[in-house]
Structure 1
Amino acid sequence: MAEHGARDLVLASRRGAAAPGSADLVAELAAAGATVRFETCDVTDPAALDALFARLTAENPLTAVVHTAGALDDGVLTELTADRLPAVLRPKADAAWHLHERAAALDLSAFVLFSSAAATLGTPAQANYAAANAFLDALAARRRAAGLPGTATAWGLWADATGLTRHLDAADVTRAGRRRIVPMAAAEGLALFDAATRTGEAVTLTARLDLSAPAAGPVPALLRDLVAAPAGPAAARPVSDAAALVARITALPAPERGPALLDVVRGQAADVLGHRGTDAVAPDRGFKELGFDSLTAVELRNRLGAATGLRLPTTLVFDHPNPAALADHLLRALLPGESEEATADRIIAELARVDSALGALPADGADRARVAAHLRDLAARWDTQETGGEPERAALDGVTADELFDLIDRGIS
Structure 2
Amino acid sequence: MDRTGIRALTVEQGLALWDTATGSDRVHLVPIGLDLVTVAGLGEEGIPPLLRDLVRPARRRRSARSAAPAESPADLARRLGRLSPTERDRQVLNLVLGQIAAVLGYPSADGVPADGPFGDLGFDSLSSVELRNRLNTATGLNLPATLVFDHPTPAILAAHLGTEVAPDAAGEEEPADGPAERGPDQLSGLAQAVEEALAGENAQRDALRGQLRAALRALDGEPGLGVDELSSASVDQLYAFVDRELGDA
Give the structure-1-normalised TM-score: 0.34
- Kindly report which structure 2 residues correspond to 1:209-358, keeping only aligned pairs within 5 A, or say none: 209=38, 219-220=46-47, 222=52, 225-228=57-60, 230-231=62-63, 241-338=72-169, 345=173, 348=176, 351=181
Aligned length: 176
Counterparts in 2 of 1:312 and 1:136: CA distance versus 1, 3 Å: same
| Structure 2 Cα separation of the partners of residues 382 and 252 of structure 1 | 20
Contact 1:211–1:228 (Cα < 8 Å) also in 2: no
Match of 1:156 in 2: 34
Contact 1:270–1:277 (8 Å) recurs in 2: yes
CA distance in structure 2 between the aligned counterparts of 1:298 and 1:273, rounded to whole angstroms: 12
Match of 2:24 in 1: 100
1:244–1:296 CA distance, 2 compared to 1 (3 A): same
Q: Which amino acid letter does the alignment assign opposite residue 293 of structure 1?
A: D
1:220–1:213 Cα change, 3 Å: closer
**C-alpha distance in structure 2 between counterparts of 1:99 and 1:387, whole Å:** 67
Q: Which runs of 5+ in 1 are unaligned?
A: 1-19, 22-66, 70-90, 102-112, 114-131, 138-152, 158-206, 356-380, 391-413
Q: Given the superposition, is the C-alpha separation of residues 209 and 270 from structure 1 closer, same or farther in structure 2, using an over 3 Å criterion? A: closer
The aligned runs of 1:57-68 (5 Å cut-off) are 68=16
Cα shift at 1:293: 1.1
Task: Spell out the pairing of 1:39-188 with structure 2 (5 A cutoff).
Answer: 68-69=16-17, 91=18, 96=21, 98-101=22-25, 135-136=28-29, 155-157=33-35
Measure the CA separation in 2 of the matches of 1:219 and 1:298.
15
What CA distance in whole angstroms lies between the structure 2 residues aligned with 1:266 and 1:292? Answer: 13
Q: Tell me if structure 1 keeps the 8 A contact 2:128–2:148.
A: yes
Pick closer, same or farther for the CA change 1:285–1:155 going to 2, 3 Å. Answer: closer
Amino acid across the alignment from 1:351: E
Cα deviation for residue 348 of structure 1 reads 4.2
Kept in 1, the 8 Å contact 2:73–2:137? The answer is yes
* 1: CA distance, partners of 2:40 / 2:225: 62
How far the C-alpha of 1:241 sits from its partner, in A, is: 3.6
Instruction: Write the distance in 1 (CA, Å) between the matches of 2:103 and 2:78.
Output: 24
CA deviations on 1:32-61 (whole Å, 9 max, x unpaired) are xxxxxxxxxxxxxxxxxxxxxxxxxxxxxx
Q: State which structure, 1 or 2, has the greater radius of gyration over its C-alpha atoms.
A: 1
Q: CA deviation at 1:156?
A: 1.3
Secondary structure, counterpart of 2:23 in structure 1: helix
- Mapped to 1, the partners of 2:106 and 2:174 lie a distance apart of 28
Q: Does the 8 A contact of 1:213 with 1:230 survive in 2? A: no
Cα distance in structure 2, aligned partners of 1:224 and 1:261: 35
Q: Which structure is richer in relative contact order (CA contacts within 8 A, separation 6 or more)? A: 2
Amino acid at match of 2:37: R
For 1:189-228, what aligned pairs fall within 5 Å after superposition?
207-209=36-38, 219-220=46-47, 222=52, 225-228=57-60
Q: Distance in 2 between matches of 1:351 and 1:334?
A: 25
The one-letter amino acid of 1:68's match is A
Higher strand share: 1
Distance 1:227 1:278, change over 3 A: same
